[in-house]
Amino acid sequence: MLYDFIIINKKDKTPLYRQIYMSVRKSIETGSLKKGTKLPSIRRLSTDLDVSKTTVNGAYEQLCAEGYISNRPRSGYYVEAQFSGTPSKSDKMSSNINKTKRYYEYDFSSKSIDDGIININEWKKYVKEVLNQNYLLTSYGEEQGEEILRNALQKYSLGTRSVNTSYENIIVGAGTQTLLHILCSLLGNNKKIALADYSYIQSEYVFNSHGYDIKYFRCDKYGACIDSLEEINPDIILINPNFTVNSNITMPVTRRLEIIKWAKENNVLIIEDDYNGELRYSTHPMPCVQNYDTENTVYLGSFSKILLPSVRISYMVLPQKLTDEYNKIKKYTNQTASKTEQIALAKYINNGKLDVHLRKARRIYLEKSNLMLSNIKKYFGTSVKIVFNETSLYVSLIFKDKTIDDSVIKKIDDALIKTMQFNKANMEASAKRGFTNATDAADYLVNHGVPFRDAHGIVGRLVLLCLDKGISLDELPLSEYKEISPVFEEDIYEAISMKTCVEKRVTLGAPGPDVMEQVIAQNKEYLEKN
C-alpha cells in the first residue's frame, strides 16, 4: 500500500527522510491525519515506499521530537498534535468548523533570525568572558538555575513584563518543554488540562506523556471563552494572552481578569506562556496575567525567540505553594541549561545589552511587518482581511469571497516572487560555513601532484582545524595551510573562493551561471506550454 498522505520523489535533492517528515507533518497540520490516528510501522512504511528503515526512522524521530506524533511502546506510532479545525477523535465537544474549509500555509521562517538584529560578536564576548574564568566551569551548576541569572531575570521580567516574583521563585531550564516536564512532576499525573488549539505544539507532547486529558477551549476575538472553560471543567488551563487566532487583538485586561476570577473560584491553575510578549513594537507590551495573580499563575518566559534560537534558556515563575513543592525535590534534579550561557546571559542583561537588543529588534520587526503588510494590500487590495498579531510574527489572510482557487494561489506565489529579497552576504557566509569549497581544496592538492586519498585526508584535517577555530577555509592563514601541507601556496584562496566554486560546477542542476540560465530557460518554456 502506498499511503496517499506521503509523497516522495527519489530524484529530488531533498533527503528522503525529510520528504516523509514534511508529508506527514503537512497532513497533520491540515487535518488529513487527525489526533489518535495510528501511523504505519517503520518496517511496513519502508517496504511500501521502497526506502530504508533508517530513512523512515529518521522522519518519525523528528516528528516525535517536535510533538507531532508519539511512539507508544508495544503499540506503534500515533498522531498527537491537533491543529485548528481538526478535533481529536476523543474530544466529544461540538464543533461548528466547516470540514471542507481549506487552509494554505506559507512558512517564511528560515528557522534562524536576521543576524542584522543582534550583535553576535557582543554576545560571543560575554560567553568568552565566562569561558576564561576557569573556576566557573569546574563545578556543577545550581539545580534551580544560576543565582546570578535568577536575580537578573527577576529585575528584567519585572521591568519588561511586570512579573511579580522573587528570584527564589524562578526556575531556569533548557527550553519551555523542559520546564513543563518539571511543572507536571509537581502537579502530578492524570490531570485535565484545557488548551487553545493553536497552543505551543510541544506542550501537548509533554502533557500526553504525563497522562493528562487534553481538551480544547473555544476562543472569540478576545481570547479564551469562559463558558467554554466551564464546559470543560479542567484542573489546569494554558493560555497565551499575546496571541489570539484569527484576531489581531491581544487579550484585553477585562478578559484576563475574568479568567483569573473564574480560575480562583474553581481552583484551576493558570499556566501563562508569554510567547514573545516583549516583542510588541507598535504599542507598549501589556502586563502579563501573572502581574494580576501571583498566587495561582505559573509564568513561562523564553530567550530562544527574542535573543538567539541557539540560546536554549527559558524560565518559569512559580507561585509560592509550588515553589515549596519544588524545593522538596530539587536536590533530585539536575540543571538542564548551560551554566556558561546562563552566566553570560546574566551579564548581558545586567549590562543593559538585552534592553538595547530589544529596542533594535522592535524597530526592525516593525519595518519588516510594514513592508509585508503593504505588499499584501498592494496585491490583494480589499479582497482580503488581514489578521496580524505582531508578537507572533504570524499573518492570516481571510478571503472575503470565501473562495480560494488556483488563480488566487498563483497570485500569492507571483507576489512572493516579485517581493522576494536575498541577502547575498548572508548566503555567501552560510556557504562558507558549510565548507562547500572543501572539495575544491582537495582538487587543488590533486592538481599539484598529491594522491587523491592523501588530498582528502589533508582537507579533513583543515576542516577540523577551522571548526575548532570557528572560521571558514578562506579565513585560515596560509601559514596554517602550510603546516598541514607545504603544497599550498597563495593561489589556494582563488581556488576555493565561492565565485570559483560556483563557476566550476556546470553539470545540469549545478549552480554555475551558464547551466542555471539553461535551467531557467527550460522552466520558462515549460510554464508557457502548461
Looking at residue 96, its pLDDT comes to 36
Looking at residue 489, its pLDDT comes to 93
Domains and CATH numbers, the chain: 1-92 (1.10.10.10), 143-356 (3.40.640.10), 426-529 (1.10.40.30)
Nearest C-alpha neighbor of 206 from the set 240, 233, 176, 186: 176
Question: Do strands 192-195 and 269-273 pair parallel, antiparallel, or not at all (unpaired)?
Answer: unpaired
- Kindly provide the residue ranges of all beta strands, DSSP E only, lying in 322-466, ordered along the sequence: 384-389, 394-399
**Whole-number Cα distances in Å, 511 to 130, 505, 517:** 42, 6, 10
What is the spatial distance between Cα 185 and Cα 332, in angstroms, rounded to a whole number? Answer: 12
Looking at residue 95, its pLDDT comes to 34
Question: Do strands 384-389 and 394-399 pair parallel, antiparallel, or not at all (unpaired)?
Answer: antiparallel
Q: What is the CA angle 233-191-71, rounded to 5?
A: 125
pLDDT tens across 374-395, in order? 888 887 788 777 777 666 566 7
| DSSP of 453-495 | HHHHHHHHHHHHHHHHHT--GGGS-HHHHHHH-TT--TTHHHH
What is the spatial distance between Cα 254 and Cα 271, in angstroms, rounded to a whole number? Answer: 18
Question: Do strands 236-239 and 269-273 pair parallel, antiparallel, or not at all (unpaired)?
Answer: parallel
Whether the Cβ atoms of residue 438 and residue 459 lie closer than 8 Å to each other: yes
End-to-end CA distance of the chain: 31
What is the spatial distance between Cα 261 and Cα 16, in angstroms, rounded to a whole number? Answer: 51
Looking at residue 87, its pLDDT comes to 40
Question: Rounded to the nearest 10 degrees, what angle do helices 339-350 and 353-380 cross at?
Answer: 90
Cell numbers representing residue 28 in the block: 497533520
Whether the Cβ atoms of residue 165 and residue 154 lie closer than 8 Å to each other: yes
| DSSP of 38-70 | BPPPHHHHHHHHT--HHHHHHHHHHHHHTTSEE
Looking at residue 100, its pLDDT comes to 38
What is the spatial distance between Cα 85 and Cα 105, in angstroms, rounded to a whole number? Answer: 14
Cell numbers representing residue 73 in the block: 511502546
**Cβ-Cβ contacts under 8 Å for 359 (sequence gap 6 or more):** none
Whether the Cβ atoms of residue 186 and residue 144 lie closer than 8 Å to each other: no
pLDDT by residue, tens only, the chain of 530 residues: 345 567 788 877 788 888 888 888 888 877 778 888 889 899 888 888 888 988 898 888 888 876 778 888 888 999 887 765 444 433 433 333 333 344 455 555 555 666 677 788 888 899 988 888 877 777 788 889 999 999 999 998 888 888 889 999 999 998 888 999 999 999 988 899 999 876 667 788 889 889 999 999 988 888 889 999 999 999 999 998 887 666 666 787 788 889 999 999 999 999 999 877 777 766 666 778 898 899 999 999 988 878 888 888 999 999 999 999 999 988 888 788 889 999 999 999 999 999 888 888 888 888 888 888 888 888 778 877 777 766 656 677 777 765 566 666 666 666 666 666 666 776 777 666 667 788 889 999 999 999 988 888 899 899 888 888 878 888 899 999 999 999 999 999 999 888 888 887 767 666 778 878 887 888 888 777 76
Question: What residues form DSSP beta bridges with 399?
Answer: 384
pLDDT tens across 467-493, in order? 888 788 888 999 999 999 999 999 999
pTM for the model = 0.59
Looking at residue 412, its pLDDT comes to 66
